Amino acid sequence: MKTAVKLFARARDLAGTAMLELDLSESATAADLRAVLGEQVPALQLILPSLLIAVGNDYAGPTTRVAGRTDLAVFPPVSGG
């Protein structure tokens, strides 16, 4: 299924967009999302292992389900302050 993912900071710059539509399976986890991201957006492979995945307002672990969510975001380690 087509799933929208927001991008921020360097991830957005490398992908050239603030929002991606990824084709994810109906049982997709955050680990699957990361793999699909690398396949569909080769420019992100450079920082793929360090990218954080958020589901809603929480950080996802590798097994967190992302299928069917409308509030996904992907971004590099944070540097506020």
Q: CB-based contacts of 49: which residues, under 8 Å, 6+ apart? A: none
Nearer to other proteins, 40 or 50 (CB): 50
**Per the structure block, which two tokens stand in for 11?**
């991830």
Per-residue contact track with other proteins, 50 to 79, x per CB under 8 A? x-x-x-xx-x-------------x-xxxxx
Choices 1-9, 20-28, 35-43, 60-68; region in contact with other proteins by CB under 8 A = 1-9
Using rule CB under 8 A, residue 21 touches other proteins: no
From CA 72, how far away is CA 56, in angstroms rounded?
6
**Per the structure block, which two tokens stand in for 49?**
């292992």
